[in-house]
Amino acid sequence: MSATSKALLLDYGGVLTGPVQDSFAAFERRLGIPVGRSFEVLVAASRTTGGGLIGALERGEIAVDEFDGALVALLRQDGYDVEAGRLLDGLFQALEPAGALWDVARQARAAGVTTGLLSNSWGADTYPRAALDEHFDTLVISGEVGLRKPDPAIYHLACERIGRAPEQCVFVDDLPRNVEVAREIGMAVVLHDGDDGATVAAVSRSLGIRLEVP
């Protein structure tokens, strides 16, 4: 299979940025909340069919303001006197585009590989749209399509958008469950653990092209 018949799909948070938990931790330190606690509270409120509060946000079923109000209530119930406001902005304030995978997308695209973003969104304002448009042929963002990883339907939608079968796709994500489902539907997968060099090497092997770590 030639490189030009393949596609590269990348996640955003934790793959094209620094670790998401670092941004959450910075937010928590500013508010005097123990590091990790805000995410624990959100996860506890999302252990329901459909993923609860997190699932609704990622599918675009609730607005950011509604999410913010729910998070304020959850943190207050947990004993933290937080003020109402744009908490979601605070959670992602320190999340910036970073890492070698941006250049990998550029190199792959230049070699004829179709590139796509496949991301679960927490609001639409966290994405650097101009930069993404420069690096990717297709953007599949959960809140805009009403589906979220690891629902197989969003992977199939991404394949449809880029005109490739799952078996022609290489998918990179930092969450094991998202990678597992992609593998189950036939994609070649790479679990990104923060080691850019190892991820670039794995993507290079899967695509069958030489990619350089900048």
pLDDT in tens, 67-77: 889 988 999 99
Confidence of residue 89 (pLDDT cuts 50, 70, 90): confident
- Position 49 scores a pLDDT of 81
- Position 202 scores a pLDDT of 97
The two three-digit tokens of residue 76, written as one number: 């207050």
- Position 1 scores a pLDDT of 58
- Position 47 scores a pLDDT of 86
Which has the higher per-residue pLDDT, 117 or 32?
117
Phi, psi (degrees; rounded to nearest 5) at 92: -105, 10
Does residue 129 have a pLDDT over 80?
yes
Mean pLDDT of 96-122: 95
The set of residues, in sequence order, having a beta carbon less than 8 Å from that of 68 and lying 6+ positions away, is 84, 85, 86, 87, 88
Write out the DSSP string of the chain: --GGG-EEEE-STTTTBS-HHHHHHHHHHHHTPPTTHHHHHHHHTT-SGGGHHHHHHHTT-S-HHHHHHHHHHHHHHTT--PPSS-HHHHHTTT--B-STHHHHHHHHHHTT-EEEEEE--SSSTTS-HHHHHHH-SEEEEHHHHT--TT-HHHHHHHHHHHT--GGGEEEEESSHHHHHHHHHTT-EEEE--S-HHHHHHHHHHHHTS-----
Confidence of residue 80 (pLDDT cuts 50, 70, 90): confident
The two three-digit tokens of residue 179, written as one number: 């990678």
Mean pLDDT of 7-35: 93
pLDDT digits (tens, 9 = 90+) for 133-172: 999 999 999 999 999 999 999 999 999 999 999 999 999 9
Domain 20-91 has CATH 1.10.287: no
Q: Where in the chain is the domain with CATH 1.10.150?
A: 20-91
- Position 214 scores a pLDDT of 75
Its pTM stands at 0.92
- Position 5 scores a pLDDT of 85
Instruction: Indicate the class that CATH gives domain 3-18+96-207.
Output: alpha beta
Which has the higher per-residue pLDDT, 88 or 193?
193
The two three-digit tokens of residue 38, written as one number: 């805000």
Q: Where in the chain is the domain with CATH 3.40.50.1000?
A: 3-18+96-207
Pairing of strands 188-191, 114-119: unpaired
